[in-house]
Copies of this chain bind each other. A is one copy, B any other.
Amino acid sequence: MATSKILIAQGGGPTAVINQSLVGAVLAARRLRQVDFVYGARHGVRGIVNEDLLDLTQETTDNLERVAATPASALGSTRDKPDVKYCQEIFKVLRAHEIGQFFYIGGNDSSDTVRIVSEEARKAGYPLRCMHIPKTIDNDLVGNDHTPGFPSAARFVVQAFAGANLDNAALPGVYVGVVMGRHAGFLTAAAALARKYPDDGPHLVYLPERDFSTDKFLADVKAVHDRLGRCIVAVSEGIHDASGTAIASQLAKTVERDAHGNVQLSGTGALADLLCDEIKDKLKIKRVRGDTFGYLQRSFLGCVSEVDQREAREAGERAVQFATSGAADGSVAITRTGDYAVGYSLLPLEAVAGRTRVMEDELIAASGTDVTDAFRRYLQPLLGTGLPEVARLRAPAVPKLLGATR
């Protein structure tokens, strides 16, 4: 019974390559002699308790390959985190369907879900192999060189800032781009790889790993703007002051105090707008624009790193191999073994679950507003090939005949 039926699910925020992991696991499982059925749960653990399962043994390989190339979670996802009672409901369903192995593709919260399900299964005496397959654009899983999903999202951020830099050079001003990542700044830091020429932006990068001061921020922007006549800023949504207070809520409070009212600022564009308002008000710069990359950075169709695709696929396949060959539950992790090459290891669930990796100090420049060469070397091979090249005119100036400048 133990391995005759396999159940796989997807949790947390979708990515560009999470379906690669799904298909990697499904195809690997379908090749196993001892596996009769591969089930998928709709919307993560919620689909298990609702007995909302699909029989993936009935999927054609061709369709699975096309699903693998499709972004977002094909099975559907959930933010549910099971407690003991929820787990009992899960086991009731697993027992009824004689499921022997459970694979959950997800990030931090999902790995903790796998840990809880694994523990409760053991306590309940229910024989269940539980495997976590990593996925998160935030790149914040400990024990991993990087996580599937991050390289493609990073590629989006690079392409976005490379384009914003060109746009801003054409119509100069200040541009603020707010990037996802509440605790870890990896995705925001990726913006630094958008630069080609020495004066290219982003000129300033603000990460949640460093305390944010609005005064320092304004002085930084002013210095760049005075020097170049323009300034591109990459900001993590998770920036906070020394006391840990999110800047979004801090600035919002100021607005509230000015307005003597209760202004709701829960919308996703709030941080970018507030930072832009600060720049306009305090620095008297006229052309200030802000974009919040929002869901585009994780869902945009057609922005994907082929390195990321390959690794996400392998992580799913290795999870099935670990489950079949090993004797322990665990979390699959990517290890860098060369420049550039990776391997996959199995970590104890407790080593990953509920823990958050942030950017290591050696990846952040001493200024606190840029990355180091070590970060550039770290990220470059993950972005994949085929990134569009940009070029500038380099024609000489025509000698002035009138001389006066208006």
Residues of A within 8 A of B (CB): 10, 13-14, 39-40, 43, 46, 49-59, 63, 66-67, 69-79, 89, 92-93, 96-97, 159-160, 162-164, 166-167, 169-171, 175, 255-256, 258-270, 272-274, 276-277, 289-296, 298-303, 387-398, 400-406
Q: A259-B262, A264-B277, A269-B270 are in contact. Are A301 and B40 (CB under 8 A)?
A: no
Q: A63-B394, A166-B71, A296-B160 are in contact. Are A50 and B268 (CB under 8 A)?
A: no
A55 is contacted by which of B49, B395, B400 (Cβ under 8 Å)? B395
**Chain B contacts of A388 at CB under 8 A?**
69-70, 301-302
How many angstroms between the C-alpha atoms of A24 and B380 in the bound complex? 34
Residues B269 and A273 in contact, CB atoms below 8 Å apart: yes
Shortest C-beta distance, A201 to chain B (Å), equals 12
Residues A263 and B260 in contact, CB atoms below 8 Å apart: no
**Chain B contacts of A298 at CB under 8 A?**
167
How many angstroms between the C-alpha atoms of A127 and B272 in the bound complex? 49
Shortest C-beta distance, A237 to chain B (Å), equals 12
**Chain B contacts of A302 at CB under 8 A?**
159, 163, 303, 387-388
**Chain B contacts of A262 at CB under 8 A?**
258-259
Residues A267 and B276 in contact, CB atoms below 8 Å apart: yes
Residues B51 and A402 in contact, CB atoms below 8 Å apart: yes
Q: A163-B296, A391-B63 are in contact. Are A93 and B273 (CB under 8 A)?
A: no
Q: A14-B170, A269-B290 are in contact. Are A393 and B301 (CB under 8 A)?
A: no
How many angstroms between the C-alpha atoms of A294 and B395 in the bound complex? 31
Q: A170-B76, A258-B262, A302-B159 are in contact. Are A397 and B55 (CB under 8 A)?
A: yes
How many angstroms between the C-alpha atoms of A89 and B404 in the bound complex? 11
**Chain B contacts of A392 at CB under 8 A?**
67, 70, 74
How many angstroms between the C-alpha atoms of A108 and B54 in the bound complex? 54
A59 is contacted by which of B159, B299, B394 (Cβ under 8 Å)? B394
Residues A166 and B75 in contact, CB atoms below 8 Å apart: no
A selection of 18 A-B contacts at a CB cut-off of 8 Å is A49-B406, A51-B400, A51-B402, A54-B393, A57-B395, A63-B391, A72-B167, A77-B171, A162-B301, A167-B298, A261-B261, A263-B263, A267-B273, A268-B272, A269-B270, A270-B273, A291-B292, A293-B296
A76 is contacted by which of B49, B169, B256 (Cβ under 8 Å)? B169
**Chain B contacts of A294 at CB under 8 A?**
289-292
Chain B CB count within 10 A is highest, among A10, A50, A78, A302, for: A302
Residues B166 and A393 in contact, CB atoms below 8 Å apart: no
A67 is contacted by which of B264, B393, B404 (Cβ under 8 Å)? B393
**Chain B contacts of A291 at CB under 8 A?**
268, 292, 294-296
How many angstroms between the C-alpha atoms of A272 and B265 in the bound complex? 12
Shortest C-beta distance, A343 to chain B (Å), equals 30
Residues A255 and B264 in contact, CB atoms below 8 Å apart: yes
Residues B77 and A170 in contact, CB atoms below 8 Å apart: yes
**Chain B contacts of A273 at CB under 8 A?**
265-270
Residues B289 and A405 in contact, CB atoms below 8 Å apart: no
How many angstroms between the C-alpha atoms of A72 and B160 in the bound complex? 12
How many angstroms between the C-alpha atoms of A392 and B43 in the bound complex? 14
